Amino acid sequence: MFVMLVQILMKARRKTSNSPNLKSSIIRLLYFEKSLSCAELSQELNKSVPVITKTINELIAEEFVTEVGYASSSGGRRPLMYAIKPDALYIMAIAMDQLSTRIAIVDLNNDPLADIELVELPLNNNPGALTQLVSYINNYIIKSGVDRRKILGIGIGMPGFVSLTENINYSYLDASGQDLTAYIFSATGLPTYIDNDSSLIALAEQRFGVAKSQQDVMVINLGWGIGLGMIVNGNIYRGNNGFAGEFSHIPLFDEGALCSCGKKGCLEAEASMLVVTEKAIEGIKQGRITTLNSFIDDPLKLMGDALFEAANKGDQFVIDLLSDAGYKIGKALAILIHIMNPQTIVLSGRGAKAGKILLAPIQQALNKYCIPRLAVNTELLISKLGFDGAIIGSSALVMEHFDNEKLTINVNQKTMEKTQ
């Protein structure tokens, strides 16, 4: 089946090398929209209904698309709906943060084929991080039992200054100036795409989350740092060279704590989940009463996970820490609202687990620092994707490129090796 799709893509490239292949465009669209009728596909792809119908029938015969019933009645004849077959292809989705990395192989419904693997992979001061990442990728594929040639590609969300034009992360994963995607492709045989983790979380929210179909949304990635993914006029906004969204390094506090960027007073150094966790550890050492005492000797990441659970169970010490962080985040959001005037702000990422606790202090800060006429028209929402948004965004990154020539060529090369 996979070979058949590649042969179709190759024929299409020879016939219409300057336009995306219609079959891959349909697969891509069904991935993002879940199910569509021929009329809806026709409108989206600017092709006639007969052409779409013929192509859909071919994809059904090739076992890439299936009928999923009729649309809800709105008067008149109900159209037949079509969806992609989840196991037609697979995607490797990788979500990295400063301390650990999650690895998954997902189907085209973004459902993992097996448990998501969490590996300890610190990025700071770790020159071997890239080599370790490649090793983890290859080992995971072997353990999964999935035919590597059926994996469409690898999508990786990572913190740091990620240049999409050069495919280099200027903060982590040093490849001695080499293109990261080329490096990982050569080591795994799989087409690879990278992006900043916060931009991919914004992509996940735009495509599958609470920001779907909205035009102007600011997505706050509450992780060990505080990231920002921006949706402007319906597109992910990355700025001049891909570094837009460094929300966490807004200097808000005079003579504040020293930030990892080397400056003082940054939002990240005062309100990130890493800082909240470190303050919790320090409070325990000073004798504060909290349910977190049993985690004092555990790794930082475990303490961070326990922190959200404790807050949601009413641990007052942790709630106070999160409330302080939320107020500082709200002060920074007031600046963001004044500059961008977004329709919606979404609290996403790891910290979405404590979203309900953070909302009140954030709103309190907005009431104090934001012009009412602007604040009243900006909706503040908690992500429903939460911590899964990073994996979903990494998967979506690969499908964003599915009808691009680069991915098609790489897939062709891999499968031709199999058939020779």
| Residue 153, pLDDT score | 96
CA distances for 27 relative to 63, 96, 401, angstroms: 12, 27, 12
Domain locations in the chain?
Answer: 2-87, 89-200+390-419, 212-384
Report long-range pairs for 167-171 (Cβ below 8 Å, ≥24 apart). Answer: 167/194, 169/194, 171/123
User: For residue 259, what pLDDT is reported?
Assistant: 78
Query: Reduced to 3 states, what is the DSSP secondary structure of residue 191?
Result: coil
- pLDDT of 410 reads 42
The domain over range 89-200+390-419 is classified in CATH as 3.30.420.40: yes
* Residues pairing with 384 in the sheet: none
The token duo for 306 is 């326990």
Bridge partners, 235 (sequence order): 232
Beta-ladder partners of 195 = 157
Q: What share of the chain is helix, strand, coil (3-state, %, to 5)?
A: 50, 20, 30
CA nearest 134: which of 207, 67, 184, 206?
184
CB 330 within 8 A of CB 366: yes
Per-residue pLDDT tens listing for the chain (420 residues): 444 454 444 444 444 333 448 999 999 999 999 999 999 999 999 999 999 999 999 999 999 999 998 887 666 688 999 999 999 999 999 999 988 999 999 999 999 999 999 999 999 999 999 999 999 999 999 999 999 989 999 999 999 999 988 999 999 998 888 899 999 999 999 999 999 999 999 999 999 999 998 999 999 999 888 999 999 999 999 888 778 888 888 888 877 787 777 788 889 889 998 899 889 988 988 989 888 887 776 666 677 778 888 888 899 999 999 999 999 999 999 999 999 999 999 999 988 988 899 999 999 999 999 999 888 889 999 999 988 999 999 999 999 998 754 444 444 444 434 333
State which H helix or E strand residue 104 sits in: strand 100-106
DSSP string computed for 280-321: HHHHHHTT---GGGGGTTS-HHHHHHHHHHHHHTT-HHHHHH
Strands 151-158 and 90-96: parallel
Which bin fits 385, alpha (ψ -120 to 50), beta or left (φ > 0)?
Answer: alpha
Collapse the DSSP code of 57 into the 3-class scheme (helix H, G, I; strand E, B; otherwise coil) and give the result: helix
The predicted structure's pLDDT at residue 303? 77
Q: Given this chain, do its domains 89-200+390-419 and 212-384 carry the same CATH topology?
A: yes
Per-residue pLDDT, 78: 86
Neighbours of 367 (CB within 10 A): 12
Q: Architecture of domain 2-87 in CATH?
A: Orthogonal Bundle (1.10)
Closest to 246 (Cα-Cα) out of 264, 226, 231: 226
Tell me the whole-structure pTM to 2 decimals. Answer: 0.88
CA distance 120 to 299: 10
Please give the structure tokens belonging to residue 391: 């994996």
Q: Which residues contact 29 (CB under 8 A, 6 or more apart)?
A: 36, 41, 44, 45
**DSSP of 322-366:** HHHHHHHHHHHHHHHHHHH--SEEEEESGGGGGHHHHHHHHHHHH
Element (H, E) at 129: helix 129-144
Residue by residue, DSSP assigns 218-270 as EEEEESSSEEEEEEETTEEE--SSS----GGG-B-STT-PBPTTS-BSBSHHH
Specify the CATH number for 212-384; select among 3.30.1050.10, 3.30.300.30, 3.50.50.60, 3.30.420.40.
3.30.420.40
